[in-house]
Every structure is written in structure tokens, then in C-alpha cells.
Amino acid sequence: MKKYLAIITMQLINNIAYPGDFLGRSISIGIFLFIFAGLWGTTFRIAGTDSINGLTFANMMWYLMMAETIELGRPRTNRIISEQVKNGEVAYILNKPYNFLMYHFSFGVGDSLLRVAMNIGVGLLAAWLLAGPPPSLLGWGMALVTLIGAWILHFCMMALIGLAAFLVEETNSFELIYQKFVFVLGGMLLPLDMFPEWLQGIARALPFPYMMYTPARLFVKPDVELFWQMLGVQWLWVIALVFLLAIAYRGSERVLTVNGG
């Protein structure tokens, strides 16, 4: 376990060396929230109501802040794995005394920690200025607990896409499509509460809402019963995807060919 903690610390230190770069990237949260404040401010005004499908303007803005924080803070494991597979670096990692997937998991955690912290900082400031004070402490607590499961789900999907590099050369396109599934069916751009019934049903049967909607929704509207229910389904998806990832990894190992170096 110590070695994985060392990987997390190492990656965290690496990232702290470039705080300006991280801050610059986090500014896009501000741009995103500013645009959506315009859109939803106008929508609520035109609708002449304080609440649409149970969400107020402030709920909507804080929901989007949390969703965007998750999106910008998710691991980019797929890019690293596929690059390592393509340039042969994977051979140097496989012969080290650690588990390949756990190495990437720890690397991803170290990479995400600072990004999530920066994104929350910038997002908090922007959302507070645009929509007033943040949700209650209970909301923060529920969001943080479900963020862990959401992050693991993202990691599993990213790693699965990265492992696809053992079979196909280019995996960026898979990431783009995956990202859009999370944007739409995960409820990043629009909370599931705003979907038509039939689409809500489809979305809830898939893992995407548990990567995005669950933490963001519980953040703005904390509800104990809903929390346990969503947490349960989220971890069922975690178990299923971890299992799938383990199988995919074993399969990838078998097709790996290293040509000297």
C-alpha cells in the first residue's frame, strides 16, 4: 500500500510545480458557469417561476458547478495507457513490482486531487458570485462520499478505453464518445430531472448518472433516503466495472507484444 501512496504523493508534487497552469485550466469552469447563468437566468425569467422540476436557479448553478468540477477533475488514464502502449513504455511499467492497474489508479488519484481542489476553488467563487451562497454542509458531505464512487467509475471507463490501445491504434475517438454520453445521459449539461420520463428511465439503467448526476444532485438537494439508494446502485456499478476491467486487463496482457527497445 505504501508504494501506491508514494505514487500518489509523487504525482501530487509534480502537479504542484505548475500551479499557474492548473489555475488557467480551471478558469474554463468560470466561463461555463457564466454562460449557463445567462441561459438559466433567462429561462427562469421567461418561465416566470422560481423552480423548474424541483430545482431553483441557485440549485441549477451549484449543480452545474459540481458537475463541471467532476468532468474537469476526472482521470485521463486512457491517454496515458494508450500512449504507453503505443510507444512501448508499458514494458517498463509491467516489470516493476506493482500492479499495472493500481499504478494507474494511484497516478490518477494524485493527478486529480489538485485539479479537483482548484476546480472547486474557482467554481465556488464563480457560482457564489452568480447564484449566491453554496448548499448546506449535508450536501457537501453527500457529494464528497458519492464523488469517490463517481471517480472510480470514471477511472474504470478511462482505463478500459486505454486498454483498447492493445487492440486498436487510436483510442481518442472512444473517449470523445464516452465524454458525450456522460454529458448527456450522465446529466452534466442538464440534470436528469429535466429529461422526459422515457429518457430518464434509459439513463438510470446505465452507469453514467452515477458518475455525474448522483454527486451533483445530492449536493444541491441532499436527501438521506435518496443518498443511500444512489450510493447502493453506484457501488454495484463500481463492482461490475472493476470486474470488467480486471477481465479486460488479463486479455490485454495476452495480446501484448514488446519488440525489444
Partner 1 sequence: MKNFKFLIALWKANLQAAMEFRSAFLTQVIFMMVNNGAYFMFWVLYFDKFKAVQGWTLQDMMLLYGIVATAWGTAAYFFGHFTTLAEVITQGRLDYYLSLPKPVLLHVLASRSIGSGMGDIIYGIGSFIISGYLTADGVLRFAIAVFTGVCIFISFLTIIQSLSFWLGNTVALSQIALSAVLTFSLYPSALFNASTKFVLLTIIPAALIGSVPAEFVRAFTWQSPLQISAGAFVFLLLAVTIFHSGLRKYESGSAIQVEV
| Residues found near partner 1 in the complex (CB under 8 A) | 20-21, 24-25, 27-28, 31-32, 34-35, 38-39, 41-43, 46-47, 169-170, 173, 176-177, 180-181, 183-184, 189-190, 194-196, 199
Gap between the Cα atoms of 239 and 225, Å rounded: 22
In the complex, the smallest distance separating the C-beta of residue 180 from partner 1, rounded to whole angstroms, is 3
CA distances from 10 to 17, 42, 79, 82, 108 (A): 11, 46, 19, 21, 11
Cβ-contact 143, 216 below 8 angstroms = yes
- CB nearer partner 1, residue 173 or residue 229: 173
In the complex, the smallest distance separating the C-beta of residue 127 from partner 1, rounded to whole angstroms, is 17
In the complex, the smallest distance separating the C-beta of residue 23 from partner 1, rounded to whole angstroms, is 9
In the complex, the smallest distance separating the C-beta of residue 104 from partner 1, rounded to whole angstroms, is 24
- CB nearer partner 1, residue 44 or residue 103: 44
Neighbours of 40 (CB within 10 A): 22
CA 118 remoteness from chain centre: 15
- CB nearer partner 1, residue 113 or residue 190: 190
Determine phi and psi for 55, rounding to 5 degrees: -115, 130
Q: Within 13 Å and on the Cβ side, how many CA atoms surround 91? A: 9
- CB nearer partner 1, residue 34 or residue 92: 34
In the complex, the smallest distance separating the C-beta of residue 46 from partner 1, rounded to whole angstroms, is 7
- CB nearer partner 1, residue 24 or residue 201: 24
Angle (CA) 22-23-26 rounded to 5° is 90
